Protein backbone atom coordinates (compact mmCIF):
# COMPACT_ATOMS: atom_id res chain seq x y z
CA UNK A 1 0.00 0.00 0.00
CA UNK A 2 2.80 2.44 0.79
CA UNK A 3 4.49 2.03 -2.58
CA UNK A 4 1.26 2.50 -4.53
CA UNK A 5 0.35 5.54 -2.44
CA UNK A 6 3.78 7.04 -3.11
CA UNK A 7 3.30 6.57 -6.85
CA UNK A 8 0.29 8.90 -6.65
CA UNK A 9 1.87 11.39 -4.23
CA UNK A 10 2.20 14.96 -5.43
CA UNK A 11 3.48 16.23 -2.08
CA UNK A 12 7.09 16.18 -0.88
CA UNK A 13 8.18 12.73 0.29
CA UNK A 14 10.87 12.11 2.90
CA UNK A 15 12.40 8.73 3.63
CA UNK A 16 14.35 7.89 6.78
CA UNK A 17 15.85 4.47 6.04
CA UNK A 18 17.13 2.08 8.67
CA UNK A 19 18.82 -1.21 7.87
CA UNK A 20 21.80 -3.44 8.42
CA UNK A 21 25.13 -1.78 7.61
CA UNK A 22 25.80 -4.29 4.82
CA UNK A 23 22.38 -3.71 3.31
CA UNK A 24 22.92 0.03 3.35
CA UNK A 25 26.27 -0.37 1.58
CA UNK A 26 24.84 -2.67 -1.10
CA UNK A 27 25.00 -1.22 -4.64
CA UNK A 28 21.31 -2.01 -5.26
CA UNK A 29 20.27 0.08 -2.25
CA UNK A 30 22.52 2.95 -3.32
CA UNK A 31 21.16 2.83 -6.88
CA UNK A 32 17.54 2.70 -5.67
CA UNK A 33 18.12 5.66 -3.37
CA UNK A 34 19.64 7.65 -6.24
CA UNK A 35 16.66 6.78 -8.42
CA UNK A 36 14.26 8.01 -5.74
CA UNK A 37 16.34 11.19 -5.30
CA UNK A 38 16.02 11.79 -9.05
CA UNK A 39 12.23 11.71 -8.55
CA UNK A 40 12.54 14.40 -5.87
CA UNK A 41 12.38 12.24 -2.75
CA UNK A 42 14.38 13.55 0.21
CA UNK A 43 16.37 11.28 2.50
CA UNK A 44 17.19 11.66 6.15
CA UNK A 45 20.40 9.68 6.24
CA UNK A 46 20.70 6.92 8.82
CA UNK A 47 22.98 7.40 11.79
CA UNK A 48 25.99 5.35 12.78
CA UNK A 49 26.23 3.16 15.83
CA UNK A 50 25.15 -0.16 17.26
CA UNK A 51 22.51 -1.82 15.09
CA UNK A 52 19.74 -4.21 16.14
CA UNK A 53 21.47 -7.03 14.22
CA UNK A 54 24.56 -6.71 16.42
CA UNK A 55 26.78 -4.96 13.91
CA UNK A 56 28.07 -1.43 14.32
CA UNK A 57 28.01 1.04 11.44
CA UNK A 58 25.78 3.28 9.34
CA UNK A 59 22.21 2.09 9.23
CA UNK A 60 20.54 3.25 12.45
CA UNK A 61 17.30 5.14 12.10
CA UNK A 62 18.19 8.78 12.69
CA UNK A 63 17.32 9.94 16.18
CA UNK A 64 13.64 10.93 16.51
CA UNK A 65 14.63 14.37 17.81
CA UNK A 66 16.63 15.01 14.64
CA UNK A 67 13.77 13.87 12.40
CA UNK A 68 11.35 16.06 14.34
CA UNK A 69 13.65 19.07 14.00
CA UNK A 70 14.03 18.55 10.24
CA UNK A 71 10.24 18.27 9.88
CA UNK A 72 9.74 21.35 12.04
CA UNK A 73 12.17 23.33 9.87
CA UNK A 74 10.44 22.15 6.71
CA UNK A 75 6.94 22.97 7.95
CA UNK A 76 7.84 26.26 9.61
CA UNK A 77 6.53 28.12 6.61
CA UNK A 78 5.20 31.63 7.21
CA UNK A 79 3.32 31.72 3.89
CA UNK A 80 0.35 29.86 5.38
CA UNK A 81 0.37 27.18 2.69
CA UNK A 82 -0.43 24.52 5.32
CA UNK A 83 -3.55 26.22 6.66
CA UNK A 84 -6.43 23.74 6.55
CA UNK A 85 -4.15 20.87 5.52
CA UNK A 86 -3.86 17.49 7.19
CA UNK A 87 -0.49 16.23 8.36
CA UNK A 88 0.22 12.48 8.23
CA UNK A 89 3.26 11.03 9.92
CA UNK A 90 4.00 7.33 9.85
CA UNK A 91 6.69 5.66 11.91
CA UNK A 92 7.77 2.23 13.03
CA UNK A 93 8.80 1.66 16.61
CA UNK A 94 11.83 -0.59 16.01
CA UNK A 95 12.15 -0.94 19.79
CA UNK A 96 12.67 2.81 20.14
CA UNK A 97 10.53 5.74 21.10
CA UNK A 98 8.00 6.38 18.36
CA UNK A 99 8.71 9.38 16.17
CA UNK A 100 4.99 10.03 16.14
CA UNK A 101 4.81 10.22 19.93
CA UNK A 102 7.87 12.48 19.94
CA UNK A 103 6.45 14.74 17.24
CA UNK A 104 2.82 15.37 18.17
CA UNK A 105 3.33 16.83 21.65
CA UNK A 106 5.97 19.25 20.40
CA UNK A 107 4.35 20.65 17.28
CA UNK A 108 1.64 23.26 17.34
CA UNK A 109 -0.91 21.80 14.94
CA UNK A 110 -3.30 24.65 15.57
CA UNK A 111 -0.68 26.99 14.16
CA UNK A 112 -1.62 25.70 10.71
CA UNK A 113 -5.35 25.42 11.36
CA UNK A 114 -5.22 21.64 11.85
CA UNK A 115 -7.05 19.66 14.49
* Residue 37 shares a structural domain with residue 58: yes
- What is the Cα–Cα distance from 61 to 49, expressed in whole angstroms? 10
Q: Measured between alpha carbons, how far is 94 from 76 in angstroms, rounded to an integer? A: 28
Owning domain of residue 90:
63-115
CA distances from 25 to 33, 46, 47, 67, 105 (A): 11, 12, 13, 22, 35
| Lowest mean per-residue pLDDT among 26-35, 68-77, 98-107 | 98-107
Q: Is 35 a catalytic residue?
A: no
- Give the confidence band of 110 by pLDDT, cuts at 50, 70, 90: very low
Q: Are residues 2 and 56 in the same domain?
A: yes
Question: Is 30 found in the same domain as 58?
Answer: yes
pTM of the model: 0.65
81, 93: one domain: yes
* 58/6 same-domain check: yes
Residue of 6, 9, 53, 87 marked active site:
53
Q: Are 4 and 52 contained in the same domain?
A: yes
Q: What is the pLDDT of residue 12?
A: 84
Contact at 8 Å (CB) between 102 and 64? Answer: yes
Q: Say how many domains are in the chain.
A: 2
Verify that 82 and 30 share a domain, yes or no: no
Amino acid sequence: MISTTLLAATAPVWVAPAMNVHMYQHPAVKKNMETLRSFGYEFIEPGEGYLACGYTGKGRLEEPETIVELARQFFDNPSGELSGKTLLITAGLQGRKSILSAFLPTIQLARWGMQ
